[in-house]
Amino acid sequence: MDIFTAGRDFVRRDARVLERRLFTAIFEGADPQGVVDALRGFQNADGGFGQGLEPDKRCPDSLPLDVEVAFDTLIAAGARDEEMVRRATDWLAQVANADGAVPLCGPAVEGYPRADHMTEWTYKPDLNPTAGLVARLYQLEVEHPWRDKAGAWAAAELAKSLPEDAHAMHEALEFLEHSGDVDLDRIRDWLPKLTNYRADAADPTYGVTPLQFAPTPDSVWKQLFTDAQLEAHLDRLIADQQDDGGWALTWQPPGPAATLEYRGIVTVGALRTLKAYNRL
C-alpha cells in the first residue's frame, strides 16, 4: 500500500471527525464548511476554544493553545468564518495581560488529565503563542484591536532578542513573515542556539524540525536550510510512517484516546507536508 493510501485509511479509521473532515477538504475537494461545523463543537460560550481541541489536556475550559489549533485548522482547510474567529479573538483580548500577551494554557488544566509537559511554564504570557496567534489572524484576514496590540508587543520583544526554544521560534517566524521582517542571516545564526530543535534527521528524539519551520517549498524560511537537509527530513518523515498507516508521536499524551486524536493530527500534517514537497 502506498504512503497516501495507508495514511488516508488511518485517518478514516482512527482520527476524530475534525481531522477526517480536514482530510477530505485538503485532499478530496470537500466543502471546507464541514471543518467549520466540526470546530463549532470545541468553541465555548465565552468565544474561546477548549474541550481538548489540542489533545494534550482534557480540559473543557477555553485556552489560547486551543484557539491557535482552531485557527490553524481553518487555515489548513481554506475555510473562513469571520464570526467564529472574531469571537475567539474577543476572548483572547479579555484574558491577555496589559501588553496583549497571552499564555498557552492556565491552571484550569490541573483539574483534568494532561500530558506531563503541561505544567506551570504554560501559564506565562509569552511569544508562544502570542506571536503565532497574531500571524494567524493576518492569514485569516481578520482585523482586531487585540491583533494590533499583541503584534506591537511581539515585535518589540523580537527586536530585543529571539526566543531560545524552537516552539517559540516557530511562532516567531510565523509572525516575522507576516510582519515583513525577514532577516534570514539573523535567524540562521540563531538556529543552533535553540532548545528542542531537531536539526539532524537521524535524531529519533522529540523536537521541532526544519520541515515545521518551512512546511512548503514556497515558505520564505526554506532558504534557512540546504536542499540536502530538507530531503533528509522528508526521507525521515516517510520512514516514520507506521504499519497502521499513521505517524507515531515522540511524546506521551494523557491517555489512549488523546494519543489517537493527536496521531490523527500529525498524520494529516505529515501528508500535507509530503504533498507540498511532491513526495506522495
- Ramachandran quadrant class, 203 (left: phi over 0; alpha: psi -120 to 50; beta: rest): beta
pLDDT in tens, 74-105: 999 999 999 999 999 999 999 999 999 999 99
pLDDT digits (tens, 9 = 90+) for 40-65: 999 999 999 999 999 999 999 999 99
The CATH number of 3-276, from 3.30.428.10, 1.50.10.20, 1.10.10.10, 2.60.120.10, is 1.50.10.20
Give me the phi and psi of 190, to 5 degrees please.
Answer: -85, -25
> How far apart are alpha carbons 37 and 20 in whole angstroms?
12
Q: To 5 degrees, how large is the angle CA 234–CA 21–CA 142?
A: 85
Region 183-194: mean pLDDT is 96
Q: What is the pLDDT of residues 213-226, one digit of tens each?
A: 999 999 999 999 99
pTM of the model: 0.97
Mean pLDDT over each residue of the chain, to the nearest integer = 98
Contact by Cβ (8 Å): 95, 133? no
Distance CA 13, CA 154 (A): 41
When pLDDT is cut at 50, 70 and 90, the band that residue 273 belongs to is very high
Q: Which residues pair with 165 in a beta bridge?
A: 195
* Amino acid sitting at position 85: V
3-state helix, strand, coil in the chain (%, to 5): 60, 5, 40
Indicate the domain borders of the chain.
Answer: 3-276
Q: Which residues contact 243 (CB under 8 A, 6 or more apart)?
A: none
Do the beta carbons of residue 215 and residue 26 sit within 8 Å?
A: no
**How many CB atoms neighbour CB 272 within 10 A?**
18
